[in-house]
Structure 1
């Protein structure tokens, strides 16, 4: 079974909801630490007053390389990408019916020296893991998140997601739209 890392502050209920979604994983997604170029994984949990998004991505999608930056130009790319990720409310637009505001953002990457990265991250194939928390007045009303990830990260071709809500567990896959459509948000929706 895939181990899902959550910050202690996100609560046991969110962890339980995500673990309940585990039976919906495909065999490929069950491989721990799978590193697939072009593919980003999102786990979304809607619980109580929060929407938590846990993201796993090869670092190549985010900055264009999978190692520590070496040049000033690469350091600038990393700085810009980190700023973009910290402004997660521009990348993830939660359904306005939930009335959410961006809360804590936790970024982890050994190659970039961010947070507490996964010690099992393979050398030469660095990842960026992140947890984005949104505090909402009506999280249960959320039925979608508009994702600006394809426009932000050019190497991204596919988003595989699991969603756990009070209404159930859902699995979705989004593919990069062709041409100019990639710059527009892709809607990750769930429920009825």
Structure 2
């Protein structure tokens, strides 16, 4: 009987301990000022860039705009990100053209994110799709986020491409996100 109860107690303790640490890890993962997370997928004729960022990185505030100046700043940021081919310049050998752009930020009235409020600690996330004639040939993306916006200091990127899977980090002022074996 003793030998069976010990594993059950260990399992129960592991479960109780893991839940708070898992929640803490998720909370830390979600929102780091100055940092932008990118997931880049090169597959078939497309390159898709998924971006997660605190809104503050782009606007200097992280809530719904309150003044005319803040509204103008938000509108400018949205316009810049919608012109994603100026921000994400994919290796020319891939011959890519900008496709659909989806921006999400409840604080700016762009889509809905589960559990996100429009006040305090708001995010601005985006999906940028590019249609290419030779996506598999791409070996880099020049990322203009540091030049276009004051807030970002670091970009953490994960890349999945025909060349393999890679994890890269860029710090201001570096722009080239490169991968290959």
TM-score band w.r.t. shorter chain: 0.7 to 0.9
Structure 2 unaligned spans of 5+: 1-21
- Where does residue 136 of structure 2 map in the other structure? 140
Cα distance, 1:120 vs structure 2:
2.1
Deviations 1:147-178 (A, max 9, x none): 0000111111100000001221000000113x
Question: Structure 2: how far apart are the matches of 1:31 and 1:176?
Answer: 25
Report the structure number with the largest CA radius of gyration.
2
> Map of 1:1-192 to 2, 5 A cutoff?
31=26, 34-115=30-111, 117-121=112-116, 123-177=119-173, 186-192=175-181
Root-mean-square deviation over aligned CA pairs: 1.6
Structure 2 length as normaliser, TM-score?
A: 0.82
Question: Structure 2: how far apart are the matches of 1:105 and 1:147?
Answer: 16
Structure 1 length as normaliser, TM-score?
A: 0.78
Structure 1 unaligned spans of 5+: 1-26, 178-184
Cα distance, 1:187 vs structure 2:
0.1
Query: Whose helix proportion is higher, 1 or 2?
Result: 2
**DSSP 3-state at the match of 2:62:** coil
Cα distance, 1:112 vs structure 2:
0.4
- Where does residue 181 of structure 1 map in the other structure? none
**DSSP 3-state at the match of 2:110:** coil
Deviations 1:56-99 (A, max 9, x none): 00000111100000111111001111000000000000000000
* Aligned residue pairs, count: 156
